[in-house]
Amino acid sequence: MGKDSGGLIKKERVGKVRENDFSQGSIIKNILKLALPMTLAQLINVLYNIVDRIYIGMLPEHATLSLTGLGLCLPIISMVIAFANLFGMGGAPLCSIERGRGNVKEAEAIMGNSFVLLAGAGVLLTVLGLICKRPMLYCFGASSATIDYADAYITTYLMGNTFVMIGLGMNSFINAQGFGLVGMLSVLVGAVLNLILDPVFIFIFHMGVKGAALATILSQLVSAVWILSFLTGKGAILKLRPSSMKLNVRRILRITGLGMSGFTMAITNSSVQIMYNAMLQRFGGDLYVGVMTVINSVREVITMPVSGLTNSAQPVMGFNYGAGKYGRVRKAIVFMSFVCILYTIGVWGMVHTFPEFFIRIFNREGELVEAGVPAMRVYFFGFFMMSLQFAGQSVFVGLGKSKKAVFFSIFRKVVIVIPLILILPAVLGLGTTGILMAEPISNFIGGAACFGTMLFTLWPELKREPKT
């Protein structure tokens, strides 16, 4: 009986491996199989913070100040996401590559090492964040009117920081195995709970921004438990085992090397957000910091389909690259790039035509809406160029080209955006408009440079498909 059971388990495991073999079948179908649930999962994940902002924007008193205070916390939240990307998005593509090579043991070891790094970094960031929170918030543009709201939110959020990191980081390993639907459900469970708890804590218990943060971390805890239960259960191809958690320097370097792209992107996003808030506070006051919070919320929502598609293409490209199927990698790049450009052109037209609609989702105060309409049109000008950055970056990460991915993350944000934020409003006298112009200029330059480099450096390599 034991022998028969072992045989059945082996057959079941082989069946799962074959079912999620990205080197077989239509490459477009393989990408879409992951893209649809992953996009929904990322959209749902964004809703954790988006829902918070929507409900806070409905507060009968101090809605704009509360929303601005929450916006001041976004750079810290971006730092948390950065470390989740470092170990989660760094390890997951390596798992796909090793699985494509048939090296299941090494793939599991990479996942185990990533988990330990995520948990350890989560605890460390909580301690450091609680110690340094108020000086950081003032540095990010807080005023005497907004500091208490920001402090209340981030203090509660940091208490559940480890749950957030494990949930975000380890879900990448579910998607990397081809279980896009499970990955979506992992996020959906927490998001639904957050949707329920937010109004209870904010309005019924009158906890305001603190209640929004509490709802978020409790929901992330449930998501993290769900994810770990799947990865340690019978349903996973690659399992999270205690034996795979022994840290290895070589693996850590591989994980952090590849994850440095997502880490750098999130850290530079945080740095840019700090600069935006500080300069907008200087030239426009609390009102424009609030406008920026709304713009960030809109951007997070409308970029999700692009992010979902490019992220879902990574395990497919990585698997086929590891298997030597370069022709299928080329097809994946073409499909991904075409869809991303088409979508972003359409969404740019919608944001430009109906900016007030998007603003009123988060705040309906007349002064903020009036300032937000022209700000939205400037910030999102030529939005389709951002898709080239997403596509090029995704190819570099999916194929393990970490140095190029890191370079273009830094290039667009640090080399282009930050200097423009400083130069355009002060030197050229463009005020808040100049600050917002930095984003579209960086999209045009950075997007073209990233995608162009990918075509000129990787595409020729992918044309030399090895004979099998």
pLDDT at 314 over 60: yes
Share of the chain above pLDDT 90, in %: 47
DSSP code at position 364: -
What is the average pLDDT value for the chain, to the nearest integer?
Answer: 87
DSSP 141-170: T--TTTHHHHHHHHHHHHHTHHHHHHHHHH
pLDDT of residue 397: 84
How far apart are alpha carbons 153 and 146 in whole angstroms?
11
Q: Residue 369's Cα: distance from chain center in Å?
A: 27
Residue in the structure block whose two tokens are 């893209």: 35
Nearest CA among 161, 165, 150 for reference residue 128: 161
Residue 244 DSSP one-character state: G
Q: How far is CA 194 from CA 45, 53, 168, 188, in A?
A: 10, 12, 15, 10
Count of CA atoms in the C-beta half-sphere (13 A) of 214: 14
Read off the pLDDT of each residue in 48-61 and give the average, rounded to a whole number: 78
Bigger pLDDT: 101 or 242? Answer: 242
Mean pLDDT across the stretch 103-127?
Answer: 95
Q: Can you tell me whether residue 329 is helix, strand or coil?
A: helix
Among the listed residues 462, 424, 219, the one whose alpha carbon sits nearest the alpha carbon of residue 334: 462
Model confidence at 334: pLDDT above 90:
yes
Concatenated DSSP letters of 100-126: HTT-HHHHHHHHHHHHHHHHHHHHHHH
Query: Which residue shows structure tokens 């916006």?
Result: 71
* Residue 277 near residue 71, CB atoms below 8 Å: yes
Q: What is the mean pLDDT of residues 333-351?
A: 94
How do residues 279-296 score in pLDDT, each as one tens digit? 999 999 889 988 998 998
The structure's pTM equals 0.72
pLDDT digits (tens, 9 = 90+) for 353-410: 999 999 988 878 888 899 999 999 999 999 999 999 999 998 998 888 878 887 888 8
